[in-house]
Structure 1
Amino acid sequence: MAYSPLSSSSTRGELIDPWPIDGTQFGYVNVDAFFAQLRSLSTSFTDEQRTNGPWILVTSVDEQAFKCIQDSHHELLDQWSILYNPVDYTISTKMESFFHGTLAMAITRWLDGKLTTMGLNHEVVFTGTANHALFVLDRAGQKINNDVGIPKIVRKRADQTVHPFIVQAPRTMKWPSLVLEVSYSESRAQIGEDLRLWLQNSEGEVKFAMAAFVTNQSKTIFIEEWKLRTRAGTQGQLRYTTECTQTMSIEKPRSDGGPKITGSFRIPFDHLLLRQPTAGETDFDMSQADLCQIAAQVWRSQSIGDAWRQ
């Protein structure tokens, strides 16, 4: 594990960076070793938050080797974008499935459409996968230090962040009001931990923590809100956790019917814009038609992934 220092006017600590942000490379040995290396990277990227992460270069991949990778139908092929260059026998790959990227963009378009309908798109800034430095915190909310007493910091990239363009003092533009985390293969528990760091580090300035999931087998989609909660520990001290407080889901339609939709989902107006709504302004409700449109885009992306693997 490599470490690199990070300091600014607001944070100072040791940056945990399991793989260099500008990528790494390794030589191809065989198909089993290739996927073992990707699986190792998948674990290491927990703190890189996966989306739009570093490109990895794999060298010495002849055409027969690449065909073996394609023909393996390995589960990781749904989680990594893989581009093959037959001229110099290299693979460029990064951890971002078509499902993951499409779902993040579909939700962004949905929210931007709602804002535009109310004439509010000029009041927010979508900052996408910009880096944020977050302290590593234990369940009690205390900073975790390295061996020499320096607080550990992780570089986090949400799948989307939204900043109100106008904020009232003492609040600054440092923190977004909404954070979106998307997962295709990552566990819900890990997403909950990621959102806990956002909510705790921002000290309440992140008002809405949103998660979206695509299940691996059925491709069911879940849209959720998670909130920070406290509970008493064994010694009576407060411990922080996150819990899901609203869920809306859609199951892929079977041959004999349409999609199955359950639950509801709403982003309160004041949580996003940090002010009360005026005439003609409302909360951001996701209708069943909205969710169907989002899901259709995600499910169609499977054909793109299949085409890349042919």
Structure 2
Amino acid sequence: MPSARRKEQSSGSQTTDTPGHLEAVSAREGKENKMQEERRRFLEYLPPDTHEYNYPGPQGTQAIIDQEFDNHSPFVIITNISPSEFEQLENHLPGRLDYSYALHTLLLKLSYAPQEEAADNFGGLVYSKARDMDVNRNMRFRGATDSATPDRKKQPDRSWGPRHLFQGRTANWPTVALEVAFSESREKVKRDMAWWLHQSKGAVLRAISIDIKRPSGNIYITSWERGTMPTRNHPYPDPRVVQEVKIFRPKQGQSPRVTGDALVIPFQHLTLRAPAEGEGDFIFTRDELLEIAEDVWITMDRMQERKK
């Protein structure tokens, strides 16, 4: 059964207050407070009705996922899953994985047809523009390949980078990452974008979010870059919005409304070199982005019909 998400509080039994005991209690409480803060940040900005489960084994996990899919839940939380258990399971799970090694907690973003439609269409545009400039063989189309830090492993919806690694770079990170949100808060989207841009220590040069709102169908396509550098007092600064295109789904008989200019991904961000003759920035026109939105709306309608 899912448990209610709640703030955990530490408690201790009465013991003689010797200096050694007080020091041990202080250290334990400090560790507990740190873990509680990590948990808060990891699960912050999720929908309030997100269900949390204690890891029930592989078969039980699949049953939980099937149930949450039927309910059209955006996320599911699995706790007390060790790194070794996660590694055995990760290649068999649907959706996008976000695992905290410190918390032994998996946050699974369930992926539905509208998200996949948006990710596939945007990824197809990236490939076609690369092919038109004859640079597709110079790029890596990483799909949802995960990236990892010592504390966390996370998957994008799509990602790209240069095929050939340059000095100081590893294959762990893309240079551009895309995440598609479906009924997520703006703060959750910002937090995910910040992770790619800051935890990669500058390896990810641009993060793109496609934020699909339910039930309105309005779509916000945003390009992000690193904001202020993290400090001790402000370790998680917000990313900076470079561009935003807003696409508003029309009511029956009306036309969609699009605000914002064409979305631009700098050529150098995808190839790590300056453009040569016949090459240039990857430009996604308003019409191209509207076409993605229209395909998403069709998929949302079909999803709603199946729900009836």
How far the C-alpha of 1:120 sits from its partner, in A, is 1.5
Tell me how far apart the structure 2 counterparts of residues 161 and 21 of structure 1 sit (CA, whole Å).
32
1:42 aligned to 53, 58, 75, which one?
75
How far the C-alpha of 1:111 sits from its partner, in A, is 1.1
Tell me how far apart the structure 2 counterparts of residues 247 and 159 of structure 1 sit (CA, whole Å).
19
Question: Do residues 121 (structure 1) and 154 (structure 2) align?
Answer: no
Tell me how far apart the structure 2 counterparts of residues 105 and 216 of structure 1 sit (CA, whole Å).
20
What stretches of structure 1 of length at least 5 have no aligned partner?
A: 2-15, 29-33, 57-92, 136-152
How far the C-alpha of 1:239 sits from its partner, in A, is 5.6
CA deviation digits over 1:225-266, x for unaligned, max 9?
122222798x97676222322101211233343211100221
CA deviation digits over 1:107-144, x for unaligned, max 9?
11111111111111111121212222234xxxxxxxxx
Tell me how far apart the structure 2 counterparts of residues 40 and 115 of structure 1 sit (CA, whole Å).
35
Q: Which runs of structure 2 are paired with 1:155-304 in the superposition (5 Å)?
A: 155-230=153-228, 240-264=237-261, 265-304=263-302
Tell me how far apart the structure 2 counterparts of residues 21 and 163 of structure 1 sit (CA, whole Å).
37
Tell me how far apart the structure 2 counterparts of residues 164 and 292 of structure 1 sit (CA, whole Å).
28
The 3 A distance-change label for structure 1 pair 45 and 303 is farther
Structure (1 or 2) with the greater strand fraction: 1
The 3 A distance-change label for structure 1 pair 131 and 239 is closer
Match in the other structure for 1:147? none
Q: Which amino acid aligns with 1:155?
A: K
Q: Is the 8 A contact 2:182 2:211 kept in 1?
A: yes
CA deviation digits over 1:274-296, x for unaligned, max 9?
11001111111111211121112
Q: Is the 8 A contact 1:134 1:197 kept in 2?
A: no
Tell me how far apart the structure 2 counterparts of residues 274 and 286 of structure 1 sit (CA, whole Å).
20
Question: Do residues 101 (structure 1) and 116 (structure 2) align?
Answer: yes
TM-score relative to the length of structure 2? 0.64
Give the share of equivalent positions with the same residue, in percent.
26
1:54 aligned to 93, 96, 116, which one?
93
Match in the other structure for 1:82? none
How far the C-alpha of 1:207 sits from its partner, in A, is 0.8
Tell me how far apart the structure 1 counterparts of residues 153 and 288 of structure 2 sit (CA, whole Å).
32
How far the C-alpha of 1:202 sits from its partner, in A, is 1.4
Q: Which amino acid aligns with 2:127?
A: D
CA deviation digits over 1:162-190, x for unaligned, max 9?
12102322323332110101101121211
How far the C-alpha of 1:41 sits from its partner, in A, is 8.6
Tell me how far apart the structure 1 counterparts of residues 112 and 244 of structure 2 sit (CA, whole Å).
23
Structure (1 or 2) with the greater helix fraction: 2
What stretches of structure 2 of length at least 5 have no aligned partner?
A: 4-41, 43-52, 80-85, 96-107
Q: Which amino acid aligns with 2:75?
A: S
Tell me how far apart the structure 1 counterparts of residues 280 and 177 of structure 2 sit (CA, whole Å).
20
User: What is the aligned length?
Assistant: 234
Tell me how far apart the structure 2 counterparts of residues 237 and 309 of structure 1 sit (CA, whole Å).
43
Question: Do residues 25 (structure 1) and 60 (structure 2) align?
Answer: yes
CA deviation digits over 1:39-71, x for unaligned, max 9?
99925279x9xxx98259xxxxxxxxxxxxxxx
TM-score relative to the length of structure 1? 0.64
CA-atom RMSD in angstroms: 3.9
Task: State the SS of the aligned residue for 1:211.
Answer: strand
